[in-house]
Structure 1
Amino acid sequence: MAEMTQERLGELADRLAEVEGYLHVDESRALVSDLERRSTEPGFWDDANAARQTMARLAKAKDDVAGIEAAHAKLDDAQAAFELGVEMGDDDLLAEAEATASSLEHDLSELELTSWFTGEFDQGDAIVSVTPGQGGLEAQDWCSMLLHMYLRYCERRGWKVTVNDAPAAEVIGIDRATFTVSGKNAYGMLRAEQGVHRLVRISPTDAKKRRQTTFAGVEVLPVLPDDIEVKIAPDEIRVDVYHASGPGGQGVNTTDSAVRVTHLPTGIVVTCQNERSQIQNKATCMSILRSKLYELELQKRAEALDELRGPKHDIGFGNQIRSYVLYPYQMVKDLRTGCETGNVDSVLSDGDLDPFVTAYHRWVVGGREPVSVEDEQ
């Protein structure tokens, strides 16, 4: 924990001023006034789609302004408590100043992240897929561990998650997983996770207890807004229905509610068995398919790998973005940024991914040098 000093408060004030500049808060205040005025004009809701987009812009601008104002209030509180604590020799006031400063540091990190999310879909929802790679049955177990890690991470951030498809494997783990994440900056945050993830541990299925290296691939796509048009002709898809195999209750598992949609021109296959009806599952499949086809079109237009998926590699040796080592020592290390921690349980069991996600975005924008998780705390 950093020592509470006047210099530290000055650094926080400088950092806050930088973030305020990144977010163009004065412009956001003006935008709030303008959009609020427009939202009260007659006929505003005649074009419902345009009105929703305007209200989304208004909510984003309000969040930016509120975040900065709250940060200024915390800085003032920390400064007042520190000065009074020093003057009176009151350890309780100094402790209060320290707690407020630490809280402000966390808030500034969140605001910095928001300022980096300038992509078209960064502030929207995300579709995440986890696929087993090299490692046989162990890779299917690794997929289930990653799914648990991401569900916990989303829970920590207060995001809503809908597991679209996560069928159990025959022996251990899951065959694959696809889930939709809804929440502020979900896609912007989670695109840091896209790539190959490597696990090193003692094999739970090997009687000789030998060390096993296993891989899984994570794909992150944006949920496309309704105004993004992706044409899919009815004769370009094949729809198959079958019994749902995953959790979902008796009503799901005893009816042909699961849906598999195959896009014939590209061979892309999307499945969903989360909902109780074929109609709902098909709608989810089509939403995911739209995102996949949109990404594919971007790749064709650019004639290169686009920024949504990142470089495409085999899910195996030499291509990992992050390693999770459980034996012979314990460490999680991101190979892109150098961010690492020895507290493996906090990552895999509790979903404490924020230090890795933050380090990734700092690395992308060329910000601060990557540091270990322990240094972040």
Structure 2
Amino acid sequence: MAQLPHDKLDALERRFDSIEHAMSANPDPDNYVRLSKEYSELSPMVEKIRAYKGALSDLEGARELAGSGDAEMAELAEAEIGELEETLETLAQDIRILLLPKDAADEKSAILEVRAGTGGDEAALFAGDLFRMYQRYAENEGWRVTVMETSDGDAGGYKEIVASISGAGVFAKLKYESGVHRVQRVPDTEGSGRIHTSAATVAVLPEVEDIDIDIRPEDIRIDTMRASGAGGQHVNTTDSAVRITHIPSGIVVTSAEKSQHQNRANAMKVLRARLYDEQLQKASSERAESRKSQVGSGDRSERIRTYNFPQGRVTDHRINLTLYKLPQVMAGDGLGEIIDALITENQAAQLAAMEGNG
């Protein structure tokens, strides 16, 4: 196992102390916000570093006692040495993981897009099931889900649904969900009990601010359209639906809620996310070699997971993980186990790559 970079750990601890000092010196509001952000980012790391140093000091003391010549004290010290060595190894591994390079978008909120793929009505129903799974998972995480655009399936579910998921670290967890999700089950309309296979595509894009991506006014065309209401008092009597075309990339985004102002804001939010994602995908393809060590490629056409209803199992093909707890996964409660396994696998691959280069 690679050694910890102690000089770097000391430097991080010094930086943390200097931020703490600067925050107590009544900085201006902008500076305080910036310092607070860095303070909260460094806190988990410094907590582990200090716990590691404390355990290291305790280990030295226990070793001294073990060699003191007092048989009873030596026996107690030997037992403590074993426990402390295990604690140090656990803390060292935690620190190595915290030192891994972070995706710049990890802490951001996300735009979730779920689209029915092959399979007709059954694919649309499955897209609806997937969206509800993410909705429940998000609620369990304390995140906020806002539906931005829907296209309903003819027999239920969705041909397409786009939602904003807001909270801390949303993209870090949901980014592994991008790709093709396949379902195997007997549709309600299937009288002979034959299993059908259909699919839905999931895209998770980091939600970005104006400062993250520059959209020039001359590069977009905004069209308003008459939104189709559901009848009665909710029929739109004005042109409220908005379609934004980003001319350089050809990306087209629509939003058709009741408020034209809200539609414009929603459409711009999705456009920024898709343009930012396009940049990330381009950067990823340019780092093709390094991507081989990561979990999946993030390719939207990559089949990542199969949900087999007759057998009650979910298989993630990227890490060969199979769980026989399909109802819990679809209810959102069991999804975390799959996501945690993907994160762990990715961290292990990164650690192996770093140690191989070191």
2:206 corresponds to which of 222, 245, 251: 222
**Is contact 2:313-2:326 (8 Å) kept?**
yes
Aligned to 2:38: 57
Q: 1:356 to 1:70 in 2, by over 3 A?
A: farther
- Identity among equivalent pairs (%): 28
Shift of 1:114: 6.5
**Is contact 1:116-1:361 (8 Å) kept?**
no
- 54-63 or 286-295, larger mean C-alpha shift: 54-63
Q: Which runs of 5+ in 2 are unaligned?
A: 53-89, 351-358
Aligned to 2:148: 164
**Is contact 2:124-2:153 (8 Å) kept?**
yes
**Is contact 2:176-2:298 (8 Å) kept?**
no
Q: Distance in 2 between matches of 1:149 and 1:111?
A: 32
Shift of 1:38: 3.4
TM-score (structure 1 length as normaliser): 0.67
**Is contact 1:230-1:293 (8 Å) kept?**
no
Q: Distance in 2 between matches of 1:250 and 1:365?
A: 54
**Is contact 1:168-1:245 (8 Å) kept?**
no
Aligned to 1:355: 337
Aligned to 1:326: 309
SS in 1 for 2:180: strand
Shift of 1:145: 0.3
Aligned to 1:149: 133
Kindly provide the CA deviation profile for residues 48-71 of structure 1, in whole angstroms up to 9, marking residues without a partner as x. Answer: 4x6644432223334555689999
Q: 1:245 to 1:128 in 2, by over 3 A?
A: farther
Question: How many aligned residue pairs are there?
Answer: 306
Kindly provide the CA deviation profile for residues 68-124 of structure 1, in whole angstroms up to 9, marking residues without a partner as x. Answer: 9999xxxxxxxxxxxxxxxxxxxxxxxxxxxxxxxxx9xx99999866571111122
Aligned to 1:338: 320
Of structures 1 and 2, the larger Rg is shown by: 2
Kindly provide the CA deviation profile for residues 202-239 of structure 1, in whole angstroms up to 9, marking residues without a partner as x. Answer: 01233443211011111111112443232233453233
Shift of 1:158: 1.2
Aligned to 2:196: 212
Shift of 1:297: 3.6
Shift of 1:180: 1.5
Q: 1:363 to 1:250 in 2, by over 3 A?
A: farther
Q: Which residue type is aligned with residue 345 of structure 1? A: P
SS in 1 for 2:249: coil
Q: Distance in 2 between matches of 1:290 and 1:162?
A: 17
Aligned to 2:247: 264
Aligned to 1:293: 275
Matches within 5 A, 1:1-377: 30-39=14-23, 44-45=28-29, 48=30, 52-62=33-43, 118-234=102-218, 236-243=220-227, 256-273=239-256, 276-300=258-282, 304=286, 310-312=297-299, 314=301, 319-327=302-310, 329-366=311-348
Shift of 1:345: 0.5
Kindly provide the CA deviation profile for residues 101-157 of structure 1, in whole angstroms up to 9, marking residues without a partner as x. Answer: xxxx9xx99999866571111122111111111111111111100000000111111
Q: 1:301 to 1:70 in 2, by over 3 A?
A: closer
Q: Which residue type is aligned with residue 249 of structure 2? A: T
Q: Which residue type is aligned with residue 59 of structure 1? A: S
SS in 1 for 2:139: helix
Q: Which residue type is aligned with residue 347 of structure 2? A: V
Q: Distance in 2 between matches of 1:169 and 1:112?
A: 47
Q: 1:330 to 1:227 in 2, by over 3 A?
A: same
Q: Which residue type is aligned with residue 188 of structure 1? A: A
TM-score (structure 2 length as normaliser): 0.70
CA-based RMSD of the aligned residues comes to: 4.1
Q: Distance in 2 between matches of 1:54 and 1:167?
A: 43
Kindly provide the CA deviation profile for residues 319-353 of structure 1, in whole angstroms up to 9, marking residues without a partner as x. Answer: 410110002x2200101112221111100023421
Kindly provide the CA deviation profile for residues 4-55 of structure 1, in whole angstroms up to 9, marking residues without a partner as x. Answer: xxxxxxxxxxxxxx9x999x8766654444334434657633xx4x664443
